[in-house]
Structure 1
């Protein structure tokens, strides 16, 4: 999770949870969510294009709208490895971290998007808080994750983190 490499998909501001995952898909099994992920966005063919490890880069207020936790689950199940945005809706951010999907803010989204070309690959280093366009070699600073958030993501989500803590304490067996 510390070093992520993938192609970037660019999205604009105010990408809401209906664009991420249409309401009609709320009852779909997790393995089916990837078939409709981002169908309501400016990338309606996202499910056909996305590959494991790919990255989403977006403007302000990513994940606004309803509090449906299936939206970040859909992104993760489709293969998205990280979402980098200018800002996130609070509940979406919390839901993403809880399921182990890294979401990181960045002040340089405009610059990243201005230089990016379709199918550019990016390297994200969550230890050093950087994102690098591998074609241009330009590197940008990401906002640092809190240690608690970083630890939760390292564990693969909140349930795994709590399980690990309980195992360390001897409260449950591995």
Structure 2
């Protein structure tokens, strides 16, 4: 699985209340949630992000509550992957469950850089700077879930 996109940079401790503030949780429509992604950190972020973009962040991304809407809002806003030094465990699992790749890595990238991620080989290339980063390749089980679009689709596929 390969992902290529423009970087949006965030700091440490980006919590789920920042990713999708509680005042926007009046709907289960993923596209409606996506309109308010990162509203607690950057107003109008959702209007600027494009399909295929990538978030690069510091440590403890997705901390706070276990609200599943945080991962949904990110994915439906068009973000194709999140790279962070570390993730809150529940956020990490919620992301994999909906088919959103989350990569634990310390990647040197500035906002606006273009990165290419190969989850099979474990290589991340910052195409803007030319820097290459090695990560542990994703296990086949996780790749299958991501390729199927999440755990529910993966489970349904196994039942066919």
TM-score by length of 2: 0.94
Gaps of 5+ in 2: none
In the alignment, which residue of structure 1 is the partner of 2:33? 33
Q: What CA distance in whole angstroms lies between the structure 2 residues aligned with 1:23 and 1:96?
A: 19
Q: What CA distance in whole angstroms lies between the structure 1 residues aligned with 2:12 and 2:52?
A: 22
Structure 2 residue aligned with 1:121, among 114, 119, 122? 114
Q: What CA distance in whole angstroms lies between the structure 1 residues aligned with 2:156 and 2:35?
A: 31
Residue deviations 1:20-64, cap 9 Å, x none?
0010111222211121100111x3331121000000011111000
Moved over 3 A (4+): none
Gaps of 5+ in 1: 168-174
Residue deviations 1:124-160, cap 9 Å, x none?
1111111111122211112332332222112110011
Are residues 1:151 and 2:144 paired?
yes
In the alignment, which residue of structure 1 is the partner of 2:44? 45
Q: What CA distance in whole angstroms lies between the structure 1 residues aligned with 2:123 and 2:5?
A: 14
Map 1:1-174; keep pairs closer than 5 Å: 2-28=1-27, 29-41=29-41, 43-106=42-105, 108-109=106-107, 112-113=108-109, 116=110, 118-167=111-160
Q: CA deviation at 1:84?
A: 0.7
Paired positions, count: 159
Question: Computing the radius of gyration over CA atoms, which structure comes out larger, 1 or 2?
Answer: 1
SS of the aligned residue for 1:15 comes to coil
Q: What CA distance in whole angstroms lies between the structure 2 residues aligned with 1:40 and 1:48?
A: 14
Answer whether contact 2:12 2:58 (CA < 8 A) is retained: yes
SS of the aligned residue for 2:91 comes to helix
Answer whether contact 1:17 1:65 (CA < 8 A) is retained: yes
Q: What CA distance in whole angstroms lies between the structure 1 residues aligned with 2:44 and 2:127?
A: 24
Alignment RMSD, CA only? 1.2
